[in-house]
Amino acid sequence: MLCPNCNTECQESWTFCPGCSKPLPKPEVIQPPSPSTPSTLDNHPPYNYGAITGKFIWMKWILLVVFILVIPGFFMFQSWNTSQKEQAVIAQARTYLSEGYNENLDLTKTSWGRIDEAKTILTALSPQSSVKKDADVLLQEIAEREIGKNIGEALLNIASKDPTDRDISKLRNAKSLLTWIDPKSRYYQQSQVALPRLNEVLDGLLIARVRQNIADSEFGLAGANLVDISSNGKYEDSRTQLRDQIIARDDAIKRVTNHKARLDYAEGLEKIFLDQGMDVYVSTSGSQNEYLRLKYILWSRPLVLKAANDGGILDKARDLGFKTVVFDTGYGTWRYDL
């Protein structure tokens, strides 16, 4: 230790300083703390873990309340917003219908573009939409108005004085639609008035077309158009005459076709026999070449049976319209009537 008076280094056990002879201070003895004396750390108050836990519980409750109220509220707002949009769609569709519709079936005053727009936005609605019933009612109304449109177009075609302005395909379509109109439709009575007039005009056009088809040898088209002509109508006599004419022309064509086919078959059959080393002369006779004669001096009963049946001559001749097949030796014959 150092002397506090002269700074001479002294030992702790000395009582006086050797440099200045003054007494030295006694060294301070540090006593260990008593077991009963609380330490500095022990003087701090203990942590209140219960209070901290309580704060966390309150935070959880607040979050739970937010989740319960805010999230459903968001979805409710979305649903409300969607409902408002769907209600706007219904209102817009009603506006389009009111702008596009003409009660008197005057097509020049009816804006079908607006009606089509209404149909488009209504069909785009979800099947789970809250306004689905309203949409179905409006779509049914649009369907009714389309029926009215069909009747109006049919009436325009019927009223046309120039036949070239009458589109047969449109008249056919109108006839199909008018035929199947629901009796509950408000246009049902109008359709029943328009339908007979439409049939009469359409039948007249079809009669003219069938005659032209026959003149052009288009018998398939003639038959198809003839089927569409109403039976027991104004043109029933013309329809019957044209049907008989088509059948007669068709039969004539078949006869000419079969006539040539029979000639070709006789020529080909003779060649087959010659290739087999048999000098068979094959010929046809009759006004339609309906008789087939096979002349061969070496015909015998077994050979005739073999050629007629196993060779398939009789079956083929029958298919081509031959009436009779004769196997001739020059001095005897075997005759098969088909």
In the chain, count H helices and then E strands: 9, 4
Q: Which residues contact 119 (CB under 8 A, 6 or more apart)?
A: 139, 142
Domain boundaries, position 286: 260-337
Domain final residue pick, 117, 137, 153: 153
Domain final residue pick, 107, 124, 153: 153
Any domain includes 143: yes
Dihedrals phi, psi of 180, to nearest 5 degrees: -105, 20
Any domain includes 162: no
Any domain includes 238: no
SS3 content of the chain, % helix, strand, coil (to 5): 60, 5, 30
337 bridge partner residues:
324
Distance CA 118, CA 101 (A): 11
Any domain includes 237: no
Read off the pLDDT of residues 154-194 as tens digits, 9 standing for 90 and up.
Answer: 777 676 656 555 677 777 777 877 787 788 877 788 788 88
Any domain includes 315: yes
Read off the pLDDT of residues 116-140 as tens digits, 9 standing for 90 and up.
Answer: 777 777 777 777 777 778 888 888 7
CA pseudo-torsion sign 57, 63, 69, 71: negative
Counted domains in the chain: 2
Any domain includes 194: no
Per-residue pLDDT of the chain (338 residues; tens, 9 = 90+): 778 888 878 877 777 787 787 787 876 655 655 555 555 545 555 555 555 566 667 777 777 777 776 666 656 655 555 667 777 777 777 776 666 555 555 555 566 677 777 777 777 777 777 777 888 888 877 777 777 777 777 777 676 656 555 677 777 777 877 787 788 877 788 788 888 888 888 888 888 888 888 888 787 888 888 888 877 677 788 888 888 888 877 776 666 677 888 888 999 999 988 988 899 999 998 888 889 999 999 999 999 988 888 778 888 888 888 889 999 998 889 999 98
Q: Which residues contact 210 (CB under 8 A, 6 or more apart)?
A: 222, 225, 226, 229, 242, 246
Any domain includes 277: yes
What is the reported pLDDT for 325?
93
Question: Mean pLDDT, the chain, as a whole number?
Answer: 76
Q: pTM for this one? A: 0.41
Task: Tell me which residue of 197, 113, 120 sits closest to 151, measured CA to CA.
Answer: 197
Distance CA 84, CA 280 (A): 95
Any domain includes 270: yes
Task: Tell me which residue of 151, 87, 97 sits closest to 125, measured CA to CA.
Answer: 87
Concatenating the DSSP letter of every residue in 149-209 gives HHHHHHHHHHH-SSGGG--HHHHHHHHHHHHT--TTSTTHHHHHHHHHHHHHHHHHHHHHH
